[in-house]
Chains A and B, each alone.
Chain A
Amino acid sequence: MIPKILFSVLLVALTLPALQVFYPVFEEKPLNGVFIEQELPNFNTDNWFNFEFQHKIDKYLDQNFGFRPSFIRLFNQLQYSIFSSTQAAGVVIGKDNYLFENWYISAYTGSRFVGEDLINAKVEKLAQIKDTLEKYNTKLIIVLAPGKGHYYPEYIPDYYDQKFDKTNYQYYKESLNKTSIEVFDANNWFTNMKDTINYPLFTKTGTHWSDYGATLAADSLLKMIEKELQYRIPHFYWNEIEFSNNPRNADNDLEKLMNLYFKIEQPLMAYPLCYNDTNKTDFQKLDAIVIADSFFWQFFNGPFAWSFNDIKYWYYFGSVFPDNYSSKTTTDDIDIIEQLKSRELLIIMASTANLYEFGSGFIEEMDSLMNIEKRLSLNEKMIVTEN
């Protein structure tokens, strides 16, 4: 009798994940992170015989069976708790369970150093871009955003023991300092402040600057902008700070990505309650373009943006925000020169890991556009002379 009951239970249990697909009785918490969603293919004899249909169905079902989020969380939790490992793309579990993205560790060790020649050439082009922008009355500011590898080297796992002579950050800094380009070196500022500040500027399980760190950096950057542009721009302020062991916003973005059942223990984090001083009216709001990696999201969605009339965020010099929210817009769809001419400020921000591809292609694109402009104006001059 018992084998019969057990076998019946088995058949029911085996069919549950498939049934949940068609009759989703149990509500499931979705998984965090972005991934490519598989689509259900259409059947035809061609894609059946060339195996495409089966391949796509396999992929679709892999991603769409009942209780998948729970299965994935179970796997991730086992991997994390037993082997201190994770499947989340690029995530490294450091000492005391401090989480890193591996390219921030590489940025710190120098294993992704692109070479002096390439950096020199890029900085030279940047200096030319700065001169051109000045003709448009557009100010250029470079922000060297910090990296978690530089901030928490003591938590990097020991197996990353190979340290190279030079890092992209170090060489860009040296090279930029030889020019007249304005640089806000947040990485250096953060590491210098680390031992004196009370609350973490990077959290244990996030990859970006902490909410607190981003707020401090945004405040300093605004002051710098004001000084460099000689504008009176509105500022944000805080009188109160909330403290929590539960990370907010993106402060545990890597932990979320790991999709675990149980939370990772956190130190106390600070959350300044910012406000805008609406009493002051004697200021001007700027129009700005920011070419940046994901470190700018906290600025774009936070109090930093209050000081601007309009900010266009050219994310990795690809998607254009906020336009992209309403319809897909990329930098290919816009006139870059015209856009730059219409703004008072251009910020290029890159964290230590993204100095590997500093500017995300903007510097090269701008250099080529400037050459075209030069050729055109030369042609015009020649035509005028001939006439």
Chain B
Amino acid sequence: MVFSSIIFLLFFLPLFLICYFASPRKFKNIVFLIFSLVFYAWGAPQFVFLLLVSTIANFYVVQKMYYSSKRNNRKILAALSIFLNLGMLAYFKYANFFVENVNLIFEALGISAMHWTEVLLPIGISFFTFQSLTYTIDVYRNVNAPLRNPLHYILYIIMFPQLIAGPIVRFQTISDQINNRKETYEDRLTGFYRFIIGLSKKVLIADVLGMRVDEIMGSDFASLDSTSAWVGIVAYAFQIYFDFSGYSDMAIGIGRMLGFKFPENFDNPYVSGSITEFWRRWHITFTTFMRYYLYYPMGGNKVETKRRLYFNLMFVFLVSGLWHGASWNFVLWGAIHGLFLILERVFLLKLIKRTGKIFGVVYTFFVVLLAWVPFRIDGFTDTLIYYNRMFSFDWGFLQFPARQHFYFILILAFIISYITSFKFGLKLQDLVYKTNLKSKEHILYFGIAVVVNIIIVASLTGSGFSPFIYFRF
């Protein structure tokens, strides 16, 4: 079930909110848990038991680890928990990829291929595995005590707002809120406004861009002109940003309605003046995870040689690429980012400082665009052809009159993405995301949110309704 669907917006969410708010305080978490299980089971019925069993097992392993007095036992149990989590991730997400590559090598060596039944990928495994890891590691490092109630732990792992696409909520961020959170009408309303902001980004912007992107990416690249290739990748850059940040806004919004304070995940990434800055603004909770649980343990910046520092950076980004998907194209995406981060450390940052902010922003967007190509396209050959079309400078027409809606949204996406480069844009952003509203302001915000919600539902249902005059036969 996705948030931007009729079943979620008009059936699941209203029913959940009524049950949740009608429940006495002590049953709220149970209601939340039951709805989260239904939410997950709806999209991945065959994996819900696996998720439950692995989560419960991890809960008890971590508890045993925490109460173990021997240091070695703690280490072994922590390793077991990490192995359990990463093992599941490795099997479900990377086994197919691994076998595929081994078979390619076998084929090159003239050995017959391994027989393998393709493994299905459980929805959200990358996200809940990371959350589970933060729990194990934070408890191991004594940052937090483990939860006492297994239901609370299951809830932390599978609470539906952030289960499928984040933000990745570190255990230490919400450990207190699971047991003891404060719900106010102010939060319920501002949470709803935030949800609507996210839903608008997803439905009114990302989905509109996505339709054209799919057309371009589904075409024969060899006959694509440069205009279409650039339009396709620029539109994709905005599509993925509005889609992903929209989803985060929705998760944060629902969380806030229930009294949770989830961390922010995006901070206007396209205004970044460098790739280094981009990664402070893009998918912040993921970057934070990688920094605390991989980069720092490898030594981070505090290493003896620059070579080691560059190795650490590249390694983290190659792993980041693989986390996004089991394909060499994602590794290439990570490699491009890693390479430019290293180049920035070597000389580019100094150059950007001298040339000014605008050059930095243009350069960053250009590199990000180049990296989005392998991220969006399947297969290395097609990626190369697409690059070739982008830089063949064989320009075609924009077809503006036939695609007014798309270009209007593309321009709007551009404006929204870059307006915060200016002071008035930041003020506008603060106004849109404002919390602690006065009563009169609530009436205004509420009215706007309801109207926008009606347009979103209209858009969701209307965009899929294409009737015919008659059936032909």
Contacts and interface: CB of A to CB of B under 8 A. Distances in A.
A103 B320 CA distance: 48
Interface residues on A, range: 35 or more
A65 B192 contact: no
Nearest to B473: A318
Interface string B396-437: 000101101100100000000000000000000000000000
A58 B1 CA distance: 9
A61 B21 CA distance: 25
A71 B468 contact: no
Contacts of B458: 71-72, 74-75, 78
Contacts of A89: 466-468
Interface string A144-183: 0000000000000111000000000000000000000000
Nearest to B471: A34
Interface in A285-320: 294, 315-316, 318-319
A345 B430 CA distance: 76
Contact of B467 (A34, A58, A61): A34
Contacts of B230: none
Nearest to A68: B461
B11 A61 contact: yes
Interface stretch (A13-21, A209-217, A234-242): A13-21
Contacts of A71: 454, 457-458, 461-462
B13 interface: yes
Interface stretch (B94-102, B183-191, B213-221): B183-191
Interface stretch (B40-48, B64-72, B139-147, B268-276): B40-48
B462 A34 contact: no
Interface residues on B, range: 35 or more
Contact of B473 (A14, A31, A319): A319
Interface in A60-115: 61-62, 65-66, 68, 71-72, 74-76, 78-79, 82-85, 87-90
Interface stretch (B299-307, B328-336, B442-450): B442-450
Interface in A10-38: 10-11, 13-15, 17-18, 31-35
B399 A85 contact: no
A79 B462 contact: yes
Contact of B442 (A2, A33, A51, A79): A2
Contacts of B467: 31-35, 88-89, 257, 259
Nearest to B400: A159
A368 interface: no
A14 B13 CA distance: 8
A294 B189 contact: no
Contacts of B14: 11, 14-15, 18
A3 B189 contact: yes
Nearest to A357: B472
A207 interface: yes
Interface string B354-373: 00000000000000000000
Given A254-B469, A294-B470, A75 B45 contact: no
A194 to B, nearest CB: 24
B464 A62 contact: yes
B184 to A, nearest CB: 8
Among the interface residues B10, B188, B399, B402, which one has the most CB atoms of the partner chain A within 10 A?
B10
B457 to A, nearest CB: 5
Contacts of B45: 48-49, 51, 54
Nearest to A206: B469
Interface in A218-260: 253-254, 257, 259
Interface string B164-201: 00000000000000000000011011001000000000
A67 B348 CA distance: 56
A294 B402 CA distance: 27
B185 A159 contact: no
A185 B130 CA distance: 71
Given A33-B469, A68-B461, A79-B405, A49 B399 contact: no
A316 B471 CA distance: 10
A301 B472 CA distance: 18
Among the interface residues A1, A7, A207, A253, which one has the most CB atoms of the partner chain B within 10 A?
A7
Among the interface residues B458, B461, B464, B469, which one has the most CB atoms of the partner chain A within 10 A?
B469
B463 interface: yes
Contacts of B402: 157, 159
Contacts of A78: 455, 458
B6 interface: yes
B466 A159 contact: no
Contact of A3 (B46, B401, B404, B439): B439
B393 interface: no
A87 B466 contact: yes
A65 B10 contact: yes
Given A11-B21, A65-B10, A71-B461, A83 B408 contact: yes
B7 interface: yes
A32 B7 CA distance: 24
A10 B446 contact: yes
A105 B466 CA distance: 19
A58 B6 CA distance: 8
Contacts of B18: 11, 15
Nearest to A90: B468
B42 A54 contact: yes
B185 to A, nearest CB: 4
B112 to A, nearest CB: 32
Given A2-B443, A57-B7, A254-B469, A7 B188 contact: yes
A104 B459 CA distance: 28
Contacts of B192: 7, 10
A54 B318 CA distance: 36
A49 B473 contact: no
A4 interface: yes
Contacts of B450: 10, 13
B465 interface: yes
A257 B462 contact: no
B17 interface: yes
Interface string B49-61: 0000000000000
A334 interface: no
Contacts of A207: 469
A78 B431 CA distance: 26
10 contacts: A14-B10, A35-B465, A57-B7, A65-B10, A65-B11, A72-B458, A76-B462, A83-B404, A87-B463, A159-B399
Given A34-B467, A51-B45, 13 more contacts: A6-B443, A7-B185, A11-B14, A31-B467, A61-B6, A62-B5, A65-B461, A72-B458, A75-B461, A89-B468, A157-B402, A259-B467, A318-B472
